[in-house]
Structure 1
Amino acid sequence: MTHNQAQIGATDVPRETPPGPTTQDGAVGAGEVLRPVTYSGNPEIGWTPIADEAERATKLLHPDNMFPRPARRRVLTVANQKGGVGKTTSAVNLAAALAMHGLKVLVIDLDPQGNASTALGVEHRSGTPSVYEVLIGEVSLVDAASVSDQSDNLYCVPATIDLAGAEIELVSMVAREARLKEALTTEALDEIDPDYVFIDCPPSLGLLTVNAMVAGDEVLIPIQCEYYALEGLSQLLRNIELVQGHLNPSLYVSTILLTMYDGRTKLADQVTSEVRKHFGETVLRTVIPRSVKVSEAPGYGQTVLTYDPGSRGSMSYLDAAREIAEVGARADQ
């Protein structure tokens, strides 16, 4: 028996879990939905990390099962006034995962930084038809939407630098809080007919974020598993209540997603436990791990699902999207 054969051991007895508690690009998150380890077809090789990642990537890029369509169109406002919590990253990756599994998705980039537009590979130089022109009534939502190069089912209304001054311009307009809602009428969306609409808000509680909350039915809040995670969350919830009371009675917090989980720290577990205790089933079971691949992807104008489809970050966003799709399919209204 060679040294390599001795290391492999009995290949006819499958192992239930891969060696080690972490992956190359991030720690396994508490409560994260994990898949059983896959094996290559060659019994001489057995389980290897590369074979496992390659098989995961293949299943993601060429899915054999599609996500269920929601009972009705879902418009989710992705908001958190605290910056750097994975808000835009979560919006684009959840949208891409849903689109890759057969659903039509529209992402509205309402952040003047235009990071969602960058991640989806959509042109957003100044002068490009964008959400700014939609808000001031110069173009329709459909005319401003572009198909992302990530998927034929994925559309994006980009944000340009012009949006930076939009809050000042909106102040003097009639029904300034409902400009986006007016643009999101059923007639305006007939051409795209999306199953899901994600509105990526700026990291503030200004007029743009209020427009997003008035236009949407649901709020998705990404919360990072770190010390200051809950800082400012109470103010965000108060603003949501104000919008409910005065502008959009149907608005509610439907989804909370825990991001940037690092299993090497006790703090991450403490934050996770606290959030789950306070918000219950609103919190998705899947936790997004802190991942180098997730951070790198936007620099290449991609979501992590196309940049590194076999990575743990990609699989986590896929699991989170599946949870969202399952909830949407069960909705009664």
Structure 2
Amino acid sequence: MICIGVANQKGGVGKTTTAINVATALAATGWRVLLVDLDPQGNASTGLGVGQAQRSHSSYDLLTAQCSLADAVVPTKVPRLDLVPATVDLSGAEIELVEMDQRTHRLRNALAGAPGRWDICLIDCPPSLGLLTINAMVAADSLLVPLQCEFFALEGLSQLLQTIDRIRARFNPALAILGVALTMYDRRNNLTEQVAEDVRTCLGGVVFDTVIPRNVRLSEAPSHGVPALIYDHRCPGSEAYIALARELIGRLPPSARAA
């Protein structure tokens, strides 16, 4: 199972929306997908229609070894897409993990017990660079970085890149950036165009060709408990995420694509 972390320490960049819709697009093409909600806000769980009553076990229980991965997983409305939901208990996990053995490898060890059940795992990280995100980066083979087309985007990205370098040096030498996805793109805004140009100049080919536009359907879908690809698969946002998933698959190792 290949594992991809969806990470950016800045909030409001479309990270959870990206995780949900890329996971849905991958499942629609036949991949068996596991989405791990590692954000205490639990937005990915809510966005996939998994209510509090269905979260008897969560990613918190998984990290603290109070349940197995098989017990934590719940099915979603999307065929071939399973979820490890999040609860507010995760908000205290940062403090609790400090006292635990292998505190940076808890998620990696938990996911190691699922050979063959899923082809790919996406981890929706919280908007911070704390122990939860570090656990995701240690567990991941690569990272998908949503980047909002705004003035402070590059400044935040530099902090993330420094953290990735530290994770490589200490815990996960193989960690790579699979790609940077430009989100909330508005062609009518000159600043958006300038930021996109600056990011591509700075990072080159690591930036995906596909850009995710500002689209009201992407914002409406979570309130209905379904991904935008199901809520309105013909809207510009859904079409962009389908294209992004196709591009992402093309960047995976041949052995993973064959799965």
Q: Specify if TM > 0.5.
A: yes
TM-score category of the 2 structures, normalised to the smaller one:
over 0.9
Q: Output one character per residue of 1:136-187: Cα deviation in whole Å (capped at 9) or x when no partner.
A: 10111121111111x22001100011111111111100110100011010xx
Change in CA separation of 1:252 and 1:125 when aligned onto 2, cut-off 3 Å: same
| 1:232 partner amino acid | G
CA distance in 2, matches of 1:330, 1:215: 20
Tell me which residue corresponds to 2:83: 156
What secondary structure, in the 3-state scheme, does the structure 2 residue paired with 1:231 have? helix
CA distance in 2, matches of 1:280, 1:125: 45
| 2:83 partner amino acid | C
Could you tell me the TM-score, scaled by structure 1's length? 0.74
CA distance in 2, matches of 1:326, 1:250: 19
Alignment of 1:134-149 (within 5 A): 134-149=62-77
| 1:177 partner amino acid | T
| Preserved CA contact (<8 Å) 2:55 2:85 | no
2:117 aligned with 1:189: no
Aligned residue-pair number: 257
| Preserved CA contact (<8 Å) 2:32 2:80 | yes
Tell me which residue corresponds to 1:211: 135
CA distance in 1, matches of 2:136, 2:253: 23
Alignment gaps of 5+ in structure 1: 1-72
Tell me which residue corresponds to 1:56: none
| Preserved CA contact (<8 Å) 1:263 1:269 | yes
| 2:138 partner amino acid | V
CA distance in 2, matches of 1:197, 1:104: 9
What secondary structure, in the 3-state scheme, does the structure 2 residue paired with 1:177 have? coil
| Preserved CA contact (<8 Å) 1:289 1:312 | yes
Tell me which residue corresponds to 1:277: 201
The structure whose residues are more often helix, as a share, is 2
Shift of 1:329: 5.3
Q: Output one character per residue of 1:61-84: Cα deviation in whole Å (capped at 9) or x when no partner.
A: xxxxxxxxxxxx321111111100
Tell me which residue corresponds to 1:109: 37
Tell me which residue corresponds to 2:212: 288
| Preserved CA contact (<8 Å) 1:224 1:260 | yes
Shift of 1:124: 3.5
CA distance in 2, matches of 1:140, 1:104: 19
Shift of 1:127: 6.2
2:255 aligned with 1:328: no
Structure 1 ranges of 4+ moved more than 4 A: none
Tell me which residue corresponds to 2:105: 178
Tell me which residue corresponds to 1:59: none
| Preserved CA contact (<8 Å) 1:134 1:183 | yes
Alignment partner for residue 241 of structure 1, among 155, 165, 179? 165
Larger Rg over CA atoms = 1
Change in CA separation of 1:152 and 1:332 when aligned onto 2, cut-off 3 Å: closer
Alignment gaps of 5+ in structure 2: none
Could you tell me the TM-score, scaled by structure 2's length? 0.95
CA distance in 2, matches of 1:106, 1:126: 16
Tell me which residue corresponds to 2:10: 82
| Preserved CA contact (<8 Å) 2:105 2:138 | yes
| 1:141 partner amino acid | L
2:158 aligned with 1:230: no
| Preserved CA contact (<8 Å) 2:185 2:211 | yes
CA distance in 1, matches of 2:208, 2:119: 20
Shift of 1:97: 0.6
| Preserved CA contact (<8 Å) 2:107 2:139 | yes
CA distance in 1, matches of 2:158, 2:244: 24
| Preserved CA contact (<8 Å) 1:126 1:160 | no
| 1:169 partner amino acid | E
What secondary structure, in the 3-state scheme, does the structure 1 residue paired with 2:153 have? coil
Alignment partner for residue 231 of structure 2, among 307, 311, 322? 307
| 2:88 partner amino acid | I
Q: Output one character per residue of 1:193-245: Cα deviation in whole Å (capped at 9) or x when no partner.
A: 21211101100010100000001110111001112222321111111100100
Q: Output one character per residue of 1:65-117: Cα deviation in whole Å (capped at 9) or x when no partner.
A: xxxxxxxx321111111100000100110000110111111100000000000
Shift of 1:260: 0.3
Shift of 1:312: 0.7
| Preserved CA contact (<8 Å) 1:124 1:130 | no
What secondary structure, in the 3-state scheme, does the structure 1 residue paired with 2:49 have? coil
CA distance in 1, matches of 2:164, 2:34: 23
